[in-house]
Amino acid sequence: MCIAVVTGGPIPDAAAVIASGAETLYCADSGLDHLISWGLKPDLFVGDMDSVSDEGRAFLERYDIPRKLYSSDKDMTDTDLVLSLCPPGSEVILICSLTGRIDHVVTNLDLLIRYKEAGVEITATDGVTDVIPVIGGNGDPGSVRLSGIEHPEELAVSILPFACDMAEGVTTKGLHYELDNATLLAASSYSVSNYPEDGIDLIEVGVLRGRLLVTLTKRV
């Protein structure tokens, strides 16, 4: 089952087609307003309603949308609350802002790592940029294989150590600047802004130990 979780914050309308293709659609608070503007209805609303528009509140009542409501005096973000409802083994696309409030952006990237380690197959996107967590350790290497990439010549690919001091045994295939059992240090720009080799629409990234975020976005 593919669950799309739509959050608040600035999200390009390009994300609408991703949300519309999900089997199940959850929203976190003002993510509801994005869904309304895209002509979609959530299967579940989660949040404290502190950022939902009047139109959104009326929409919840008019269509009797199932909801889990929380006090605004809480210790988790609305996005974290929604993700906590996604069981291990589920496929989750977190449709979130990657350009809005920096505290929420960084927290959502942290949540990718946490829920991936909890067994949720999670990725994030704003419809323009995709972020994929890859985690290796305890003798269990992590990897991701991305195939059928459209317009690879326009793509920028970065491989970023995240929530760790270093990522070891990083190997790639299909990129112009290949990595072979490399060690990537945190706070280094070494593996930023790579790109697919000419004519290649398949990318593979693996890591033996550590945590990576693989980002794919259009080169400008």
Query: pLDDT tens per residue, the chain (220 residues)?
Result: 799 999 999 999 999 999 999 999 999 999 999 999 999 999 999 999 999 999 999 999 999 999 999 998 999 999 999 999 999 999 999 999 999 899 999 999 999 999 999 999 999 999 999 999 999 987 788 899 988 887 888 899 999 999 999 999 999 999 999 999 999 999 999 999 999 988 888 899 999 999 999 999 988 7
CA 103 – CA 178 distance, rounded (Å)? 32
pTM for the model stands at 0.95
**2-128 and 131-218 agree in CATH topology:** yes
The hierarchical CATH code for the domain 2-128 is 3.40.50.10240
Digit-coded pLDDT (tens) for 95-138? 999 998 999 999 999 999 999 999 999 999 999 999 999 999 87
Token digits of residue 76: 């988790």
- Contact between 29 and 116 under an 8 Å Cβ cutoff? The reply is no
CA 88 – CA 95 distance, rounded (Å)? 19
Domain ranges of the chain: 2-128, 131-218
CATH architecture of 131-218: 3-Layer(aba) Sandwich (3.40)
